[in-house]
Structure 1
Amino acid sequence: MRLSVVGCGYLGAVHAAAMASIGHDVVGIDVDERKIAALSKGEAPFFEPGLQEILTEGIASGRLSFTTDMAAAQGAKVHFVGVGTPQQAGGYAADLTYVDAAVDGLLPYLSEGDIVAGKSTVPVGTAARLAPRVAGRGATLVWNPEFLREGWAVQDTIDPDRLVAGVPTENGAPSAEGERTAQVLREVYHPSIDKGTPFIVTDYATAELVKVSANAFLATKISFINAIAEIAEVTGADVTTLADAIGHDARIGRRFLGAGIGFGGGCLPKDIRAFSARAEELGRGESVAFLREIDAINLRRRDRAVELTTEALGGSVFEKKVAVLGAAFKPHSDDIRDSPALDVAVRLHGLGARVTLTDPAAIENARRIHPQLTYEEDLDTTLRDADAVIVVTEWDEYRRNLSPEHAASLARGRVVVDGRNCLDPAAWRAAGWTYFGMGRP
């Protein structure tokens, strides 16, 4: 099938390349000329495992192309819209400028029977507002939210754990037009559906709420265990053992119960804020009022990491060399948007520490935003003569592969702050380090 993908940022570039990899003929469209030039040469504009390979393959096969010309969308059967919905300046609500512009830009190139499939994370009610514009061109709008995890986005696109399609409905059920559009999407995603991926057809509002509800739940689970970590820190309890214990309960599960410095990235923080803002607009702000506290807990954990490092160094980090391991908001990514790791590094620098930061993938992105920090590609150079080491992104390079004995041979001090509770405290203590974890004795 011929597809267009409008918006070639993180979501759109991965979606375009993944759809080409399963056999579709795909054109990706974006207004950013530099990004399109790189993608057209088969160069991934950001780090995402597996993307470079399917991008190169798609370009070479001729099934994948990129352009800044919206007219290239003409002739496609399905037009995916995957542009950003950033937080509004000065408020919590989502900025839908790019979504509106993408849909309006597509309109002149739509044909009778085409499908516009929204993938961006939007406030509930957005699809209903946009549908008449699309219908005016004889096309149909469907909302097909993404559920990508950065670091696993290629896998999550090709083999998702579920697919959701919000379609036009009548009397609480898909209309005839809704059934038709759902069937076309089944054809688009047939490789994963044939392998058993659930395909859920629903109305617009439910499809929009599925995405923001999933993010809100994950954020809640992360902040819950971090709230318990705050109690553990004043009682001497070990939040990691506690999480293991409650995680054995099948109703709770262990995933996303890792206490640390909290979540970040381009999705969870802004999405829970936008959800809160939309609920207020709908007169149901009290229904998700807890999300404000979820956000507050998350930000407090960054404060706690800075406090721990300061306490560990005798009450002041001024003129102390602090080796910061990590800049990306999570491993397997170079994304520094709302990164707790980078935030902690910047705060330590602001207190007078001589911060040296390393990361396997995100150094260049971090340097562009925070050139005041010192960056090192080499881990050993980062550790050399450090008064303290703080792990803020749980890359395998630090979590599994960094020997505490080797680190001790390089650092001046013997203080390690484990901002992700990903190190073995016994091993580090045995090597002579004073270990500080988040919510751990």
Structure 2
Amino acid sequence: MSDRLPGFSTLAVHAGAQPDPTTGARATPIYQTTSFVFNDADHAASLFGLQAFGNIYTRIGNPTNAVLEERVAALEGGTAALAVASGHAAQVVVLQQLLQPGDEFIAARKLYGGSINQFTHAFKSFGWNVVWADPDDIASFERAVTPRTKAIFIESIANPGGSITDIEAISTVARKAGVPLIVDNTLASPYLIRPIDHGADIVVHSLTKFLGGHGNSLGGIIVDAGTFDWSTGGKYPMLSEPRPEYHGIRLQETFGNFAFAIACRVLGLRDLGPALSPFNAFMILTGIETLPLRMQKHCDNAKAVAEYLAGHPAVASVSYAGLPSDKYNQLARKYAPRGAGAVFTFSLKGGYDAGVSLVSKLQLFSHLANVGDTRSLVIHPASTTHSQLDDAAKIKSGAGPDVVRISVGIEDKEDLIADLEQALGA
């Protein structure tokens, strides 16, 4: 190939992959093995001591997973990546490298309900404390910074409402505070938004969603932007201080601009154990090959459906940044000019009961707790994904009692609109 940088669609098909050297297989094989044979005792010692790269045990790394990691890192513009068992696992592994008991991280209030629950409740047992900020009020992030703040966490496109977050503005707050900005890019995918280009230091995904794209495999990934100096101020001892498990190696000093990805692998994945199955990695790799085609179709369909709903008499409001009237439309034009994503919410004039009724009457839309599938999906967040929150918190997170969330698939848009028409009419 020439010296020109490959385009996005080329990277989606080829990044990280080569024909199998033994068999010549063009598709990346599924290396369905627990462990790998060492050349000799010295080779084994060098792998365990981080003096050499290679395969030891599939909990720590696997050749199929490695192709997936390299591909997503290339698509996101990062230096390295680590694939794990789910998006939730990615969040745990990331924050384990950054937080000590008693430390804080700031999170945007508009997040996936499962993340709100994880941050509010599960992380308390680790002594990690979340401080909430309003992504519509950048100053709220500044006010939330304390000496115990170790990170800021946002979503590029917020779940469930589809609002666009001003990544650059919040990145400025993170830089001033001397902490990394973590961006969950699940709903956008790198096809629509590359957070690293706008100041993110770490990107996470639920691979289960648009990257895999077919609703058949769980997975998560962490992408290291290679932009943060982990040695500054001694805030991040997991990366800057000698690691006793590795004969005193300082990860920042040894691995430079991909030290964070290494830390997540050798300190997080190794000990916490949320390994991604090589079979799931293979399935997600296959999905990524068509990511550019699917995402554009998702976005085109979503805009058509949003326009239809905005004009329906039973609908009180539509929250979709792709609509010119939406409050996030200018941010969508800046950050996601190809499309504002395919997940959004709308409110029904009949309130809670109307939302529950609608999801039961839809026929083409599947009623389930997922997004990013080729199929169109629907859910009533207040009774499901956000049900653990009180009413005030539901409304703040964009999941009020009258709200329905849809994930628009790649079917014919006319069929999707017809299904909504019959369900709303009923």
Q: Which has the higher contact order (CA 8 A, sep 6+)?
A: 2
Q: Same fold (TM over 0.5)?
A: no
TM-score range, shorter chain: 0.3 to 0.5
TM-score by length of 2: 0.33
